[in-house]
Amino acid sequence: NDEPEGVFIRIIGDEPAQIFNESDRGYQEPQPIGAMPPGTIVRGHVEGRPEGWFELALSNSSAWLKRDPKKVEEMGPLLKQKLRVVVTTATPVWMVKRWMRGTESEVTVDDILAVRDLENDRVRMMVEELVRLRLGETAFETLVDSFFERAHKKRTRLTKARGYFNTQNGCV
């Protein structure tokens, strides 16, 4: 595929970062169309874009962020990311395949958790299969077992905090 990979950024600070409908072209102030809360990680493009601007990688229209160092932290290109970052952003499956072939990052239990959280079943199964092929059957199953063990511990810990609720008529 000829689409550039782009770079990843994280929204930092205490205030949301404004999203604009276009970059500053010099003749009028760009109009804000939304905002992204701190902690959000997105993929987009800086190459060939106006200086100081980041174009979000979207499928249907363009949206822009100012590259203010107080509001955004540049995380680098695709192959420098953890799998959990790649799968929680708007990244096509062919790019995940490229990541699998070219990255030096290890796949961890946190990455498996992010893959398991993917809403699209088809994409989730494709990414799981890519991880299985990369790691091998035994290593993949070990990671999945660690994931389920962690989930069970969390569920057990939360059961104590949640307790049980009884209605007035005695139903649990």
Look at residue 106 in the predicted model and tell me its pLDDT.
93
109-119, pLDDT tens digit by residue?
A: 999 999 999 99
Looking at the predicted structure, is the pLDDT value of residue 60 above 70? no
Looking at the predicted structure, is the pLDDT value of residue 171 above 90? no
**Which DSSP string do the residues of the chain spell out, in sequence order?**
--S---EEEEE-SSSPEEEESS---SSSPPPEEEEE-TT-EEEEE-TTS-TTEEEE--SSS--EEE--TTTEEEEEEGGGS-HHHHHTSS--HHHHHHHHHH--PPP-HHHHHHHHT-S-HHHHHHHHHHHHHHH-HHHHHHHHHHHHHHHHHHHHHHHHHH-----TTS--
Look at residue 30 in the predicted model and tell me its pLDDT.
84
Look at residue 86 in the predicted model and tell me its pLDDT.
95
Structure tokens at 145: 């077992």
Looking at the predicted structure, is the pLDDT value of residue 168 above 80? no
Residue 59: which pLDDT band, with cuts at 50, 70 and 90?
low
pTM: 0.79
The mean pLDDT value for 40-49 works out to 91
Structure tokens at 149: 């063990």
Looking at the predicted structure, is the pLDDT value of residue 172 above 60? no
Residue 140: which pLDDT band, with cuts at 50, 70 and 90?
very high
70-106, pLDDT tens digit by residue?
A: 999 999 999 999 999 999 998 899 999 999 999 999 9
Look at residue 154 in the predicted model and tell me its pLDDT.
84
Residue 50: which pLDDT band, with cuts at 50, 70 and 90?
confident
Question: What is the C-alpha to C-alpha distance for residues 131 and 112, in angstroms, rounded to an integer?
Answer: 9
10-33, pLDDT tens digit by residue?
A: 999 999 999 998 877 767 778 899
Number of neighbouring beta carbons within 10 Å of residue 1: 9
Length of the chain: 172
Could you give all domains of the chain from N- to C-terminal order, each with its CATH number?
1-77 (2.30.30.40), 81-162 (no CATH)
